[in-house]
Amino acid sequence: MIEKPHHVPDRLGLLSAAAAEPFLTEDLLKGVEGHGGVDLARVVDPLPEDDPRWEAEPLRELVEDAMHEFRDNRTHADAWLAPRLHAALRIVRREAADRRLWNHLALAVAPDYVAWRHLSTPASEQSESRINPARFRGALDRQCFSRLWWAAEMFRDGADYSPVVTACANQDLIHSALRRDLIDHRPTAQALVRVLGRGIATTGREIEGLMTAISAAGATLVYDALAPDEPRDPEALRQWVAEAESAPPVPRRSLPAGPDEEPVPEDSVAALTEFFAELFETAPVRGRTPQG
């Protein structure tokens, strides 16, 4: 397994996909050997020096704690790291949509974490362990860190990150949900977490079938009408971002607090939860015998 880079930058930067490509070596993707970091630093575009949000050390400490805490079960690290990454890196969606930020975090700050979390198990004695390059510089729903940040952003209930923990404990849910725009409707996200918690849909096939049915129903049913949401207060998010410099380190044993936004209306979540539960009964789940 690769080790921590010899040179870890003090601050996050922007690393384009083209600039990142030469550093995605076979040795790195096989988890054999990483890079020193010095050469990579030369192709990084800097972020504003006066913004405390770009300090790399808090994120580096988080991934090291995750690797230690979940050394016996790597997948469990997602549910722990997602809310803490979101709370530690106080950015807005526009900033989070810039893949260059995540490329830099993955390749310059924590390539050893990417390898630790996503090095595959060989399918046979003839195959080799390997990391999918998309975990370093892929789409936002596949890249190691962006997928966690966006999962936390989509599934948090205002300042409450507990639904994020439930969502990220199921790899199939976050993978399927982040590929669909409908998850940006807050009551939909919270209802999915409740459906999962009730054990209605838990396997990969069941979740994909439910998400397909939800998407199809959404083409004819406007979820905003069935389950209205309160408009987000942009001032709450602006204040949360502005407090980054004075914010304490994110807690390890308890959940942090997100932006002080209004929670999702309970009536809307309850209505959609029941609707999704009924929808699942006829959802196209591969391998399930249709109920007549």
For residues 30 and 64, give the distance between their C-alpha atoms in angstroms, rounded to a whole number: 20
Q: Which residues pair with residue 11 across a beta bridge?
A: 55
Residue 90 amino acid letter: R
Going from the C-alpha of 107 to that of each of 103, 188, 270, 281, the distances in angstroms are 6, 34, 42, 44
Q: Where are the alpha helices (DSSP H) in the chain?
A: 17-20, 26-29, 38-41, 57-69, 77-88, 93-96, 99-104, 111-118, 134-137, 146-155, 162-168, 171-177, 186-197, 204-218, 223-226, 234-242, 266-280
pLDDT for residue 290:
52
For residues 83 and 67, give the distance between their C-alpha atoms in angstroms, rounded to a whole number: 16
pLDDT for residue 8:
93
For 278, the token pair is 């009924």
For residues 289 and 281, give the distance between their C-alpha atoms in angstroms, rounded to a whole number: 11
**178 exposed, middle or buried (CB, 10 Å; 0-12, 13-18, 19+)?**
buried
CB 255 within 8 A of CB 181: no
**Residue 115 dihedral angles phi and psi, to the nearest 5°:** -65, -45
For residues 244 and 97, give the distance between their C-alpha atoms in angstroms, rounded to a whole number: 19
CB 168 within 8 A of CB 145: no
The contacts of residue 175 (CB under 8 Å, 6+ apart) are 141, 147
Its pTM stands at: 0.93
Blockwise average pLDDT, block size 10, the chain, 292 residues:
90 97 94 84 94 97 98 96 98 97 97 95 73 95 96 96 96 88 86 92 89 83 86 92 96 97 96 93 72 47
pLDDT for residue 202:
86
pLDDT for residue 20:
95
Could you read off the pLDDT of 140-160 as tens digits, one per residue? 999 999 999 999 999 999 999
